[in-house]
Structures are given as C-alpha cells and as structure tokens.
C-alpha cells in the first residue's frame, strides 16, 4: 500500500508541475538550499513583495522609504556588525567518514532535548558524555567548532580584500543611514526598507523551500529618537489582537499563547516599544492579506540566549504549516542603538543625529580624557603623537569606539581603556547629538510564498482549487473560447489582447474541454475564468466564473475591462460583475 | 579658476544629495564597483524594470514568462557554460609595488592602440617590446595571465563544493529550461526572462555607476525551433529604423552607422535571424520610452574576437552619454544551440525538444558507434564494462558530449573520440528531437538608470529640471499647501492621504516658499505639483503645475484622483486636466 502524500509533498508536486518552484540545478543533481521560482512562483512572489510594499512602504511613504544596496559586503561592515564573530552554527565532523553535521541538531535528534544556545565546548561535552556517534557510519565525532554561515568571497584581484554575501539587508541600511537621513531632509522617525537577496551558508538544509541558503528578505530598519518613542499611528491598530508566547510563558512551559490587544501588550510591558508593537500589528495584517488567518499566526518572544547578538527584544512571527509545524516568517527585533554605535566605532564616522532643544538645558555630558602621565610611562616618546591625534579626534566617536571595542586605535597603537577616563560633567547646551534607536520587522519572502500556497490549497470534487487571495494570484483572469471555432475564437482572442494591453496577467487557453480548462485554471488559482460562447456572438456578452464557488454570471463584454480590475482589487463583489448566467 | 563640473559630475552630485545613488560603504572609504540606490534611485530603477517587463514579458505573456533563479551557482553549471574557462580578463602585476592592472587597458593607455581580443602571451610580448612599466611606480611588470571575473565562494561546509555568483542570469534559464517548457505545456517558441543581480569581479572598475561589480540584469532567453525561425510579430516593427554599425563598416573604419529598417536589415543579411531583429527593435523602443531618443542609440555588431564565447552574432545596443561616449546598455546575442548542447553534454540530461512530423519522413540521422576491437586492445578486460554502459546510454546525449568535450566519460574512463564512429544513416522517422536555438536580449538596469538621468537633466533659469518620462518618475505628484495655515493645510493633507491610498508615489512638502518647493520637486523630476491655496478653501479647486512648462491649470479637487493617473500614463494631456489658472 503506497503511503498517501502529505500536504507538503502535494504542494511540492503541484509547484514543480505547474511552475511555482522546484529545486535549483536539478539537471546537475540539485544543490540543497536553493530554489528556482517558475513563471507562477515568480509572479506570486512579486505580488507578495508588492503587498509588503503597500503595507510597509507606501502606506508610510512620508517617513519610510525603500532603497537598494549590494549583496556583496566588505569584511569591515560585517566585522562592525558583529556577524563575523556571532553569525555561526556549531559543526561537528565524523573522524571516520568525514561527514559534517550541525552539532546541536545532531544532539537533539539523539537525546531528544533542546540544546539551543549552548557553546561548542558544552556541546562537545554532551557528545562525549552521551557517547554520541556519527549517525551515518557510527564513527567517532570531532570536537564541536563554530562554522561561519557567511558566504565568503574576494573583491577584486587582491586576496586580502575579503567580502561576504550579506546575511541580512539591514547593514546596507545602517551604512547608508546618514545619506538617506540627509536626502530625507534630516527628520526622525525615518524607516529605511529594502527587498533583496541574502545568503546564509547553512550546514545541511533539508527542508526544501523552508530553509534556503539564498532567499529574499523584506526588511525595514526604523530609526527613532529614544526620547520620543511614541508611535502616533498606534490608534489605528491598538485593538488588534496579538497571540503572544512571551518569555515568561515559555519558561513556565506554557505552549498556549496569551491573547492581548496591542494596547494591552504595551500596558502590561510585554512589548517594550510602541513602534515594535505597531509593526507586529502591521505584520500580522500583511500576512493575513496573504490568506493566513490570525489564529494561525503567533508571536514568540525569544529568550535571551535565542536572540541575535544585536537584539534586546525579539518576537518571531510564526505561521503554522502542516509538515513543519510553526515556522518563522518574520523576526521583529528591537535593535536599539547597537548597529549604529558599532558602525560609529568601527568607521569612526559620525552617524549621530543632532537635536536642538527649545531652550538651552543643563545636561550631564560624558567627556573622554586621556591619562598623559600614564601614556608617557608606557609609550615613551610616542606619547606626543598619541596625545595630538587624540585631541584632534571627535571625542564622541572615540567614546563609542571605546565602548564597543574596549580599546582605542590611535597613532597605530591599540590603547586599552585603562588609559582613559570618562568624566560626567554638567553643561549648559543648546542641543545634543544622539544615536537613533532601531526597530526592525524582517520578513522572508519564500517562506511566505510556501505558507500562502498551503493556506490556498483546497480540494473540491477530487480536484485541487488554489484559493489564493484575488489580488496576489499570479494570473488574474483566464480567457477561454468555448469551442475552437470562428467567430468565437476571434472574439476570445480580441478580449484576451485587450485585457493584456491593460497590463493584467491573463491566460488564454483553447485546448481540451471547457471543464478541463476550468480545472487547470483552478489548480493555479486564477480567480476568474471568462468564457466566450455561442451567445457571445449574438449579444456580445461573456460568462465569468468564480474560482471559489464555481458560480457563473453573464456580463457585457465591453464592461469586463472596467469591472475585472475592480473585482481583483476587492472593490466589487462577484455578484456586482453581472447577471446570473 | 575652478573647473566647471561636467554633466557626469553634476548628476553624481545631484544623485547623492537628493537620494538617487552614491558609492556603497562610503563610511568605510567605499568599495569600487558597488553602488547604493537611495529612495529615488530605487524607485526609478523599479519603474525602469517595470517598463522592461511591459515590453519584454507582459506584451508577450502567452509565450514569454519570467522566472527567478539563484545568484549562487555551483561550479558544474559554469563549467558547462564555458564561463569557468572563458570569462576572464588579462591581468598584469607590478613586480616592485605589487599593484595589479588590467593588462589590455594598461597597454592601450600606453601605446594608444586597441589590443582587445589578444591573448595573454601576445600582450606580454607587447609589454616587453614596448618596454611598458608600472604606471604607478615604474617597476617591471609580470607576465600577463588570465584573471577570472567570477566571484568565487564555497557552498556548505565542504571546501570542494565551489560555487560562484552568476555573471549572467542566462544560465538559470538554461538549467531550468525543461521544467519551464513542460510547465508551459511544451510549446515553442518560448521566452524565459529574468530580472536579477549578477556579479562580475572587475579588476579595477573606475567609472562609478557605469561599471559595477554587482548589478541588475534584465534578460530574456528566447528558445525557438531553428527550422521555424520566422517571427510572426515582425510586421509590428518592420519599418522601425535601426542604426547599425556592422562588422563590415568597422573593418572599413567607418564610424557612421548605416540606417536601415528592420526589414532591410534582414533582407540584406545584416541581421541573421528574425527574432534577433525583432528584439533589437523592441529594445530600441523600450530605451526610447526611458527618454533616450533614437538618434542617441546605435547597434554595434561585435567582431568575432570581441564576441562572447557562446555567440555567433552579437549587437551591443549603445547609448551616447556625455563623459563616457557610447556605452553599452544591452547585448543582443544569437546564442544558437550552444548553451543547451553544453548542458546536455555536461549533465547528460536530455534537454531536447520533440517534434512530430505531419507524416513520417526519411531523414539522415546521426548514429554513434563504438569500436569494440580497438577498445579491447587499449582497455583490456574493462572493455565489457565500457560497452555495456555505452549501449545502455542515450546515444543522442553522448553525441552532444563527444561534440562538446572531444571525449566521452564511460565507466570511469575518458575515452577519446578515435574510439567512436558517427555514421549518418537514412531512416524513416515519425518525428525528431532537436535542440532549440536561442536569441538573447540582455539589459543592464543601472546603466539605463544613469543614462535616463542624463537625458532627463535640463537647466531652466539656472535651476535643474529633471524631465523624466512621467510614467517612470520616482514620484508622480507633489502636494503643497500654499501657506502653513488652516484650513489650507488640512485640505492639502487630506488630498495627500487620498492620493497615497491610491498607491501613487506622492510627496508632501510644507517647508519654505512655494517657489523653493517647486524647485525642489523639479530637481527630482516630479511631473505634477498640486497646490492648495486660498481659492481652494472657497471652491474646492486646486492648481496643478506642469514640471516641463511651468504652466498651471486649475482643477476641481475631486477630479484629480481620476485625472492624475491618466496624465501620468500619458492618456490625457496637461490641458485636459483642467482650466488655465
């Protein structure tokens, strides 16, 4: 008896056959972690991106803008961002067969307990204690070490110019923050968004389109003044309900989410910032627009050891899918001032923002001083050079550098923090420079594409009907001549050409019975099928068929050009398209 | 006296200040060959891509589709495509200071003669004969060698799994050809298009946005049956004039292009294929839609040694820009069956297409045979294994492999072509398998973006007016309250919100005099400025100002929502928007 395919397999089969997606480089045996989007998949992804753009950019276009920065990133940027140090997974190698495994996954498979967040030496210890062997050949395993998830390359002909593929789009927004801020005429809050490819060199990805080594990120870095953290748009979403799995619940082992409104989540201190809360709600509405109901979405707060190195609070936005359970489709992170202060420290460029006070204030200001006597003692005659360079430098930038690195590079020396003193003095000032804080909603497009397909998948009378939301379906309307005869074909072709010239995505199909053609269109989620029949020849009407109900109505042909776009956008109902057929 | 800036510098300055583009990673000193697109640049590029999509995909959506494949490409693909071997530039190193140079450019700068297409040993010879030294330190130069322009990386944890960033999107279309062909229900001709990032690791790019190491390609691989090479859409473009600089003209040293219609170009044999000719014309219309007039576009045929390794005829589509002269914005190549036959040979997968004859035909068919006696002599007892594997393999695939590689890999042996015989026999067959031929139009988005800005740049009364085509301008309309007072501001805000909810790109600006606001909007090419003034309060009309003529008309506010999109799309004229103000 052959095992019935699960929903994931059914979608993968449909996706490959009809042209949504398939494994890349199949003719060469495929490469894990890469996927090709076929004609329907590329169109669906584009529509998902456009929907994201509506929710995150266009709706807020007075203060959120979209930019595009390179995938290839020089080493200096990812050193500053901390990715060079922190963006790793633990790896272990079999000493006998040479196979390599992700150590935490291997251990979890063997002992059935989570080990996320443990250090390599701790994982090595478990392997020894539990006597865990290579799952493929039974050989002994090596010590666990860190494996960098960055794809490395070289920029230009000099081998020392190391570069990487970006693991997130965010760093392009941080390194260009000052330029964008100035082009937008120096106003906060300011969101900088981007849609683009990223690379994460996973050790052994095995979940198809769910875990990719190359995928598309849709990300906003939202910069605001930490002294003015209120979100004026909050009233729009304050009553939206969020399903939160907080750290507190997780530590108590409670799996059921807490359902709170956005406002309650803020008032109870479950969400640390209004903008973070606002984007949780917007993110939830966006994903709902893809056809994924609210009760299939939760926000899981990450425990300190689960969070990325830059984050002080993170909620993963999870969506339930059949085979894989709850999968992350977005991360919402409060990145604070981490990234900008690191880039100030590492680039020694001023990325702060100036704010003028209404009237001068007495403020406590940090001042950096250098211990000249101690310098003389340890650096001898070089001390004059060091003092000169120190006094010519921007002390605020040096303060950030000292804070980030624990030392300062001056005149070619690495001078440890013991040589400096940070004095807090009260000063009357007209304004001040500060580092904006950042909240980041970040979505993965391919996972959303898969989840969208799964929630659209339905079966009626043994046939697949893909109930994609009308405005994200890859093809908006199918045009069928009832029979392959003139003048029916001529009328159908003309209708098709007219719809096409409106830049709609249209399908024309003349082959097979009309029933088979409806079925083929249903299977790829075409919301409307327009049929030209014998009556069309007489009175220039056509029928329109509703994918989801299979109902048909009859409409004057000259009206379809105006009405179809309104129907696709959800501005009129199916009944408003015409008269019952 | 300070030198006046040239147009390129003026555009670069404007681009950085207003947010079109700037050098990436500036805070770390910048990296040559990478550019960030700011808010306006990203929007402009998106509009250029959308325009390309209209011309190349949507207009032909019944037989040209768009897909998306990864940037990261395993070695096997680029070995088959020939890029591993051929995608190189000659490099030379100074033995004294260690600097590296692109050898052909260095020699051309020194001797003032073109040396394109010469082999490394020929370039080395010129360096020796002409006693060319390092231009930076005067040191002796090394031998010239080939430098791979592929960005190299490793996929996963095994160092032998080498991958590269794709240098063109094309290979993703070839490796997935069979999947797309089947999803499109097995019909030819079939175009597969893609917009995406590519990487070319240039030795020392120095032309800013014109020569990038990472850029966006917009490419169609158009597959057709070489026995049915006619283009039914030709009548649409047959009278379009093309400016051709043919190989013949180039060899005669004639710089003036030959002006022929598409039909004449084909009849005179200047263009080898109808589809190639068709896409030259479509490409020219597309670029004209970006505001670049036909007389500033030429098609330069590449000489055999200038052509890429896969091409039998190539026209570069050139556009004239101020500082750099004629620059390539597209390549139109006849790639024939090169790529598919290489992938058949290297993957041993059948990428051919079957065609049934109306009735059986007697055809000359190539048959591959193996010389068993000779095998016995050279391979001894292994010969049985070889013969068995040979007889079980698809002979047509082996034929392609033998043709591409000059040997066959069978049973672990590399067996040279002397062991095989290709017999041509006459056979009665019902149909045949063949390898489609390919024509490829391939555009670079960032160069088009720069050229678009240059052709839009104009100066009026000492102020810059960016006369971008209305439908590709990053912002469609600016909304200004004449003064910062109620109820004028309220009406302006409401109008802005309404326009925004229509998903238009809109700018709201209240700061500074109205004249300054017009000037700021002109400088970034906003086609329409909508002003709410005192009269608006009385009769709910607003003024609309034409960026290009500075004319103003007055229109009922409730009509702008319907009329502005029509004006932006070019469906109504400025005069049709309202009454003279």
Residue B552: count other Cβ atoms within 10 Å of its Cβ: 15
CATH homologous superfamily of domain A475-580?
Anticodon-binding domain (3.40.50.800)
**Is the pLDDT confidence value at B1 over 70?**
no
Which regions of chain B carry the CATH code 3.30.930.10?
A: 7-81+152-338+440-444
The full DSSP string for B328-365 is: EEEEEEEEETHHHHHHHHHH-----EEEEEEEEEEEEE
Total beta-carbon pairs less than 8 A apart between chain A and chain B: 234
Taking an 8 Å cut-off on Cβ atoms, the answer to whether A506 and B41 are in contact is no
Burial class (CB in 10 A: 0-12, 13-18, 19+), A324: middle
How far CA A460 is from CA of A191, A415, B537, in Å, comes to 44, 72, 57
The predicted model gives B98-111 an average pLDDT of 93
What's the topology of domain B88-147? Herpes Virus-1 (3.30.40)
Least confident residue range of A203-207, A566-570, B77-81, B519-523: A203-207
Q: Could you give the ipTM of this predicted complex?
A: 0.94
Q: Using CB atoms, which residue from B19, B70, B156 is nearest to A203? A: B156
Which regions of chain A carry the CATH code 3.30.40.230?
A: 88-148
Q: Which of B81, B73, B11 is nearest to B41 (CA)?
A: B11
Determine the Cα–Cα distance for residues A276 and A331; give it in Å rounded to an integer.
Answer: 11
Q: Which residues of chain A are within 8 Å of residue B151 when distances are taken between CB atoms?
A: 72, 153-155, 163
Q: Which residues of chain B are within 8 Å of residue A214 when distances are taken between CB atoms?
A: 70-72
- Per the prediction, chain A carries an average pLDDT of 95
- Best mutation target, B22, B61, B570, to test chain A (most A CBs within 10 A): B61
Determine the Cα–Cα distance for residues B523 and B20; give it in Å rounded to an integer.
Answer: 11
User: CA of A346: which chain B residue's CA is closest?
Assistant: B28
Cβ neighbours of residue A299 under 8 Å, at least 6 residues apart? A242, A243, A244, A245, A257, A280, A315, A316, A317, A318, A332
**Is the pLDDT confidence value at A552 over 90?**
yes
* DSSP category for residue A495: H
The total number of residues shown for chain B amounts to 581
Taking an 8 Å cut-off on Cβ atoms, the answer to whether A72 and B34 are in contact is yes
User: CA of A93: which chain B residue's CA is closest?
Assistant: B157
Determine the Cα–Cα distance for residues A516 and A505; give it in Å rounded to an integer.
Answer: 20
The predicted model gives B479-503 an average pLDDT of 96
| Candidates 3.30.930.10, 3.40.50.2300, 3.40.980.10, 3.40.50.300; CATH matching B7-81+152-338+440-444 | 3.30.930.10
Residue B337: count other Cβ atoms within 10 Å of its Cβ: 18
Q: Using CB atoms, which residue from A71, A183, A213 is nearest to B39? A: A183
Per-residue confidence band for A2, with pLDDT thresholds at 50, 70 and 90: low
How far CA A24 is from CA of A195, A526, B69, in Å, comes to 21, 26, 7
Structure tokens at A482: 């009832």
User: CA of A215: which chain B residue's CA is closest?
Assistant: B70
Taking an 8 Å cut-off on Cβ atoms, the answer to whether A203 and B176 are in contact is no
State what percent of residues in chain A have pLDDT above 90.
84
The total number of residues shown for chain A amounts to 581
**Is the pLDDT confidence value at A246 over 80?**
yes
Q: Are strands A241-245 and A457-460 parallel, antiparallel or unpaired?
A: unpaired
**In degrees, to the nearest 5, what angle opens at C-alpha B122 toward C-alphas B120 and B124?**
70
**What is the number of H-type helices and E-type strands within chain A?**
21, 29
Cβ neighbours of residue A23 under 8 Å, at least 6 residues apart? A30, A31, A34, A35, A36, A208
Q: Tell me the backbone φ, ψ of residue B302, rounded to 5 degrees.
A: -85, 140
Taking an 8 Å cut-off on Cβ atoms, the answer to whether A77 and B28 are in contact is yes
**B229-265 pLDDT per residue, tens:** 999 999 999 999 999 999 999 999 998 999 999 999 9
Q: Which of B406, B326, B100 is nearest to A161 (CA)?
A: B100
User: CA of B203: which chain A residue's CA is closest?
Assistant: A156
Which regions of chain B carry the CATH code 3.40.50.800?
A: 475-580
What's the topology of domain A88-148? Herpes Virus-1 (3.30.40)
Determine the Cα–Cα distance for residues A555 and A539; give it in Å rounded to an integer.
Answer: 10
**B173-195 pLDDT per residue, tens:** 999 999 999 999 999 999 999 99
The predicted model gives A71-80 an average pLDDT of 98
Residue B311, pLDDT score: 80
Residue B205, pLDDT score: 92
Question: Coil, strand or helix: which one is A535?
Answer: helix
Work out the minimum CA distance from A270 to partner chain B, whole angstroms. Answer: 32
**A123-174 pLDDT per residue, tens:** 999 999 999 999 999 999 999 999 999 999 999 999 999 999 999 999 999 9
* E strands, A279-352, in order: 297-301, 313-321, 325-336
Q: Using CB atoms, which residue from A25, A67, A70 is nearest to B34? A: A70
Q: Global pTM?
A: 0.94
* E strands, A252-373, in order: 258-261, 297-301, 313-321, 325-336, 353-370
């Amino acid at each position: 008896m052959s095992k019935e395919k699960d929903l994931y397999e059914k979608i993968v089969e449909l996706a490959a056959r009809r042209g949504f997606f398939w494994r890349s480089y199949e003719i060469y045996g495929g490469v894990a972690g890469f996927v090709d989007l076929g004609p329907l998949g590329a169109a669906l992804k584009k529509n998902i991106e456009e929907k994201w753009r509506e929710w995150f950019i266009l709706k807020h276009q007075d203060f959120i803008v979209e930019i595009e920065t390179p995938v290839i990133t020089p080493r200096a940027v990812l050193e500053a961002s901390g990715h060079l140090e922190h963006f790793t997974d633990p790896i272990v190698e079999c000493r006998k067969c040479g196979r390599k495994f992700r150590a935490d996954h291997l251990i979890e498979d063997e002992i059935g307990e989570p080990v996320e967040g443990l250090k390599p030496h701790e994982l090595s210890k478990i392997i020894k204690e539990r006597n865990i062997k290579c799952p493929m050949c039974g050989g002994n395993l090596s010590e666990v070490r860190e494996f960098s998830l960055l794809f490395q390359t070289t920029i230009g002909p000099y081998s020392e110019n190391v570069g990487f593929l970006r693991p997130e789009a965010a760093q392009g927004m941080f390194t260009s923050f000052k330029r964008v801020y100035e082009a937008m005429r120096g106003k906060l809050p300011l969101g900088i968004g981007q849609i683009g490819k990223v690379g994460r060199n996973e050790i052994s990805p095995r979940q198809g389109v769910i875990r990719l080594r190359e995928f598309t990120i849709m990300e906003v870095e939202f910069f605001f003044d930490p002294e003015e953290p209120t979100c004026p748009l909050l009233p729009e979403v304050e009553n939206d309900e969020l399903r939160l799995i907080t750290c507190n619940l997780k530590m108590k082992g409670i799996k059921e989410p807490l359902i709170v409104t956005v406002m309650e989540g803020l008032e109870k201190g479950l969400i640390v910032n209004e903008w973070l809360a606002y984007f949780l709600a917007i993110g939830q509405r966006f994903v709902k627009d893809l056809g994924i109901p609210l009760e299939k979405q939760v926000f899981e707060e990450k425990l300190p050891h689960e969070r990325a190195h830059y984050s002080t609070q993170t909620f993963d936005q999870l969506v339930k899918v059949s085979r894989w359970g709850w999968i992350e489709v977005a991360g919402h992170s409060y990145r604070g001032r981490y990234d900008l202060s690191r880039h100030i420290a590492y680039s020694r460029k001023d990325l702060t923002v100036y704010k003028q006070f209404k009237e001068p204030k007495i403020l406590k200001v940090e001042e950096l001083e250098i211990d000249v006597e101690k310098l003389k003692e340890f650096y001898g005659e070089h001390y004059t050079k060091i003092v000169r360079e120190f006094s010519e430098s921007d002390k605020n930038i040096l303060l950030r550098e000292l804070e980030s690195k624990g030392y300062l590079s001056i005149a070619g020396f690495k001078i440890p923090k013991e040589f400096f003193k940070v004095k807090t003095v009260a000063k009357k000032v007209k304004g001040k420079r500060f580092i904006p804080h950042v909240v980041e909603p970040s979505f993965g497009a391919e996972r959303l594409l898969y989840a969208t397909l799964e929630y659209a998948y339905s079966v009626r009378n043994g046939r697949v009907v893909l109930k994609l939301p009308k405005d994200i379906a890859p093809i908006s309307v199918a045009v069928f001549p009832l029979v392959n005869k003139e003048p029916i074909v001529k009328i159908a072709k003309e209708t098709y050409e007219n719809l096409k010239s409106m830049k709609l995505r249209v399908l024309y199909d003349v082959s097979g019975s009309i029933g088979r053609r409806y079925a083929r269109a249903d299977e790829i989620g075409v919301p409307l099928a327009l049929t030209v029949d014998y009556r069309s020849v007489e009175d220039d009407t056509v029928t329109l068929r509703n994918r989801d109900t299979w109902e048909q109505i009859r409409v004057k042909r000259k009206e379809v050009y105006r009405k179809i776009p309104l129907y696709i956008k959800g501005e009129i109902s199916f009944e408003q398209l015409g008269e019952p057929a």
